[in-house]
Amino acid sequence: MTNSIRNTLIVTALSLAFATACKMTYDALAIDYNPDFARADVAEGKRLTTMMCGVCHFDQKTGQLTGVQMVDVPKVLGTIIASNITQHEEKGIGKYTDAELAQVIRTGIARDGRLIPFMQKPNLADDDLRDIIAFLRSDDPMVKASDIEPGETKYSRVGKMAIGSEKPTPWKHGIQKPGSSDKLAYGKYLIDNLACYDCHSKSFAKVDKVDIEKSKGFMGGGNKMLNKLGEKVLTPNLTPHETGIKDWTEADFARAITQGFTKGNKVIAYPMPLYPDLNPTEISAMFAYLQSIPAIKNQP
């Protein structure tokens, strides 16, 4: 084999590998989604949407879910902007069917086939999914049709490979929300769907969205993110280790996630969002669960 042919084959193989790694679109799923919206709790849907989606999609300037740039994402991935998810037919989600909304939330596959892994909530309970969609369809000012275009996501070459390495999460029917009496299961459910594990584990690239406890360095911190000044910050350890939150009380934890102050009275700044809408039962369950997981020695 001549060097010319060998080089051609190598370039072709690398090009095919890159194209495969950069797969970013998928066919829509054949989803049979017909929930009983008459039983939906729109107020609860708003609370859940605010906590689960508002971090990326809520713009304080507009007071709506018109989308903002995700400035905490490392610049090497490119410019990533959360979409307008108001009811506008062209700029927002006005043309989405209920099944398409369910699909993008559970699997990450958008109406046009794009994979949006930031959206994936594969373990979200059926009732919570229904309430969120009912809120998105409601007459609440937060989701009223807006033609604001927050900007265009532009992945870098590295970003395309990173997204291409992700896969849609599975579509599942009949997911039940754990009862609050089962503190550990309920706490895990909340840690999962608020995506705490996503930031507080070792790396975005090593999280397992289907079985969150299989994420590398689960809740042990050290993930690299950016603050609003573009400076690198490492997420803290939330496991029950001396380098984590072993000596925290439930009250310390509640104050941290609802008011933004650590046990040592340090201010918890961006990119950590606050969750003032969490109720005491939810906070207690989350703390109990975090105290039950394997301790990891890690001081970011």
The DSSP letter of residue 78 is E
One domain, residues 202 and 246: yes
Q: Which residue has the tokens 């018109």?
A: 66
* Mean per-residue pLDDT, 160-171: 88
Q: Which residue has the tokens 């959360």?
A: 82
One domain, residues 188 and 160: no
One domain, residues 151 and 53: yes
Say if 10 falls within a structural domain. no
List, in sequence order, every residue forming a beta bridge with 217; answer none if it has no partner: none
Say if 3 falls within a structural domain. no
Residue 28 pLDDT: 76
**Which domain range does residue 113 map to?**
37-164
* pLDDT tens track for 73-132: 888 889 999 999 999 999 999 999 999 999 999 999 999 999 998 889 999 999 999 999
* Mean per-residue pLDDT, 175-183: 97
Using DSSP's 3-state secondary structure scheme, residue 115 falls into strand
Domains: count for the chain: 2
One domain, residues 248 and 287: yes
Q: For the chain, how far is it from start to end, CA to CA, in angstroms?
A: 52
Cα angle value 71/115/48 (rounded, 5°): 65
Residue 31 pLDDT: 85
One domain, residues 159 and 188: no
One domain, residues 194 and 268: yes
9: pLDDT strictly greater than 90: no
Domain boundary among 164, 195, 210: 164
Q: What is the pLDDT confidence band of residue 165, given thresholds at 50, 70 and 90?
A: confident
One domain, residues 115 and 41: yes
Using DSSP's 3-state secondary structure scheme, residue 34 falls into coil
Q: What is the pLDDT confidence band of residue 295, given thresholds at 50, 70 and 90?
A: very high
* pLDDT tens track for 220-273: 999 999 998 889 999 999 999 999 999 999 999 999 999 999 998 999 989 999
Cβ neighbours of residue 142 closer than 8 Å, sequence gap 6 or more: 46, 58, 63, 64, 65, 86
Cα angle value 132/215/240 (rounded, 5°): 95
Q: What is the pLDDT confidence band of residue 12, given thresholds at 50, 70 and 90?
A: very low
Question: Considering Cα of 166, then 170, then 175, then 181, what sign does the dihedral take?
Answer: negative
Q: Yes or no: say if 280 and 229 are a contact pair by the CB < 8 Å rule.
A: no
The CATH number covering residue 279 comes to 1.10.760
Residue 23 pLDDT: 67
7: pLDDT strictly greater than 70: no
* pLDDT tens track for 18-41: 444 456 788 878 888 999 999 999
* pLDDT tens track for 266-293: 999 899 999 999 999 999 999 999 999 9
Say if 122 falls within a structural domain. yes
71: pLDDT strictly greater than 60: yes
DSSP output for 203-252: -GGG--SSSGGGSTTTT----EEE-TTS-EEEPPP-SSSTTTTTT--HHH
- Whole-number Å distance between alpha carbons of 12 and 67: 39
- Whole-number Å distance between alpha carbons of 58 and 232: 23
Q: What is the pLDDT confidence band of residue 6, given thresholds at 50, 70 and 90?
A: very low
Q: Yes or no: say if 224 and 218 are a contact pair by the CB < 8 Å rule.
A: no
Say if 17 falls within a structural domain. no
One domain, residues 288 and 256: yes
The DSSP letter of residue 155 is E
Say if 171 falls within a structural domain. no
176: pLDDT strictly greater than 50: yes
Q: What is the pLDDT confidence band of residue 13, given thresholds at 50, 70 and 90?
A: very low
Helical residues (DSSP H) of the chain, grouped into ranges: 3-21, 42-52, 54-57, 98-107, 126-136, 157-164, 183-193, 196-200, 250-259, 280-292
Say if 196 falls within a structural domain. yes
* pLDDT tens track for 192-202: 999 999 999 99
CA-CA distances (angstroms) from residue 247 to 243, 271, 293? 9, 24, 15
One domain, residues 53 and 157: yes
Q: Fill in the amino acid letter for 86.
A: T
10: pLDDT strictly greater than 70: no
Say if 44 falls within a structural domain. yes
